[in-house]
Amino acid sequence: MKIRCVVAGCLLAGLSLSAAAWEPSGDVSVIVAYKAGSGTDTGARLLSAKAEKYVGHTLVIKNLPGADGKIGWTNLVKAKPDGMTIGFINLPTFTTLAVLPDSPFKVADVIPLCNHLTETAVVVVKADSPYKTLTELVAAAKDKKLRCSTNGVEASNHTAAQLLARSADFSYKAVPYGGTADQLLALRQNEVDFTCAKVADIAQLIKGDTPEVRVLGVFSPQRLSSLPEVPTLGELGYYDKWYGSARALVLPKGTAQEVVDFYEDAFRKTMTDPDVIYAHIQAGLELDFKDSKELAALIKEQEEFCRDVVSTLYQKPAK
């Protein structure tokens, strides 16, 4: 009888421990450092809506745009590390800002959770632009200083423009906007001559019988299956490596490992759900799940890229 009681007690203890496993106590705040309607916001809302099935609570998007992402990410790293606030970071923009001497946050201020999207950068002009090819655009840029909209000073799309300009040997006027949505609007309103963005950002703008923009080149060693007719920059003798952006989920420093484990498992299940995969394909989003360890390696790689490569792009070329 005593043995049975002991066994029963152990079983109850096991059930108690299982029941005590961490999970959110209510709605979860998801910080997005860019405005509603931006590429980051679009992807974040799609993923958050689908993840509620596995998280068990509503994921509430909180847009905190401004200062090229600094406002949102500063709020993210200062959030209480109780698992009730998670956030999206954009690479390499986050690491570019984090390595600056006066940055309000550092890479060590966040805990990697998982990667969501990987997106290749593209060079874009308005659909009725006089520049039909990237070669024509570069020739014009060498003849006169063209204007290029960016998603912020030294942000990801500004870096793409710098990679193109340095490799093609031309200068241009960078015009910063509050985010990708605004920079693309500026292009469509003829405020600038060209821009650099990500494939997902322009996916809806190249559809239909009357597309709003034209893609002139992709930052990839190989042509993209989604844009097979568009040449790579390397084909034309310009930047020949991959460049783009990763959009990933992180938690504030100090968050317990059990919280990380809970969300990593929930988002793994979300991003391997066939319905979720299909929804991303339909939205033109390049789903690319990486777990917390893989994301940590990617963030480290991007931090080194920002220190060794990006930092040199914004120095004035020697005369």
Read off the CATH number of the domain in which 87 is found: 3.40.190.150
103 with 131, same domain: the answer is no
Residues 6+ apart with CB under 8 A from 12: none
194 with 262, same domain: the answer is no
Q: Quick check: is 281 in a domain?
A: yes
Rounded to the nearest 10°, the torsion over CA 75, 80, 86, 88 is: 20
Report the predicted TM-score, pTM, of the whole model to 2 decimal places: 0.79
At residue 137 the predicted structure's pLDDT band, cuts being 50, 70 and 90, is very high
179 with 289, same domain: the answer is no
pLDDT at 16 over 50: no
143 with 210, same domain: the answer is yes
Q: Average of pLDDT values for 216-229?
A: 94
80 with 225, same domain: the answer is no
Dmax over CA atoms of the chain, in Å, equals 94
CA–CA gap between residue 39 and residue 200 (Å, rounded) = 7
Q: pLDDT for 237-263, tens place per residue?
A: 999 999 999 999 999 999 999 999 999
At residue 8 the predicted structure's pLDDT band, cuts being 50, 70 and 90, is low
> What is the pLDDT, as a whole number, of residue 257?
96
> What is the pLDDT, as a whole number, of residue 68?
82
Locate 182 and state its tokens: 């605004």
Q: What's the domain range around 81?
A: 25-118+246-311
> What is the pLDDT, as a whole number, of residue 212?
97
pLDDT at 274 over 70: yes
Which of 211, 243, 275 represents a domain boundary (last residue)?
A: 243
Q: Average of pLDDT values for 138-157?
A: 94
> What is the pLDDT, as a whole number, of residue 9?
52
At residue 155 the predicted structure's pLDDT band, cuts being 50, 70 and 90, is confident
Q: Quick check: is 252 in a domain?
A: yes
More confidently predicted of 100 and 218? 218
Which of 212, 243, 274 represents a domain boundary (last residue)?
A: 243
At residue 265 the predicted structure's pLDDT band, cuts being 50, 70 and 90, is very high
How many domains does the chain contain in total?
2
Query: 104 preceded by cis ω (within 30°)?
Result: no
130 with 34, same domain: the answer is no
Q: Quick check: is 169 in a domain?
A: yes
218 with 147, same domain: the answer is yes
Which of these ranges, 36-45, 126-135, 206-215, 226-235, has the smallest mean pLDDT?
36-45
| Percentage above 90 pLDDT, the chain | 74
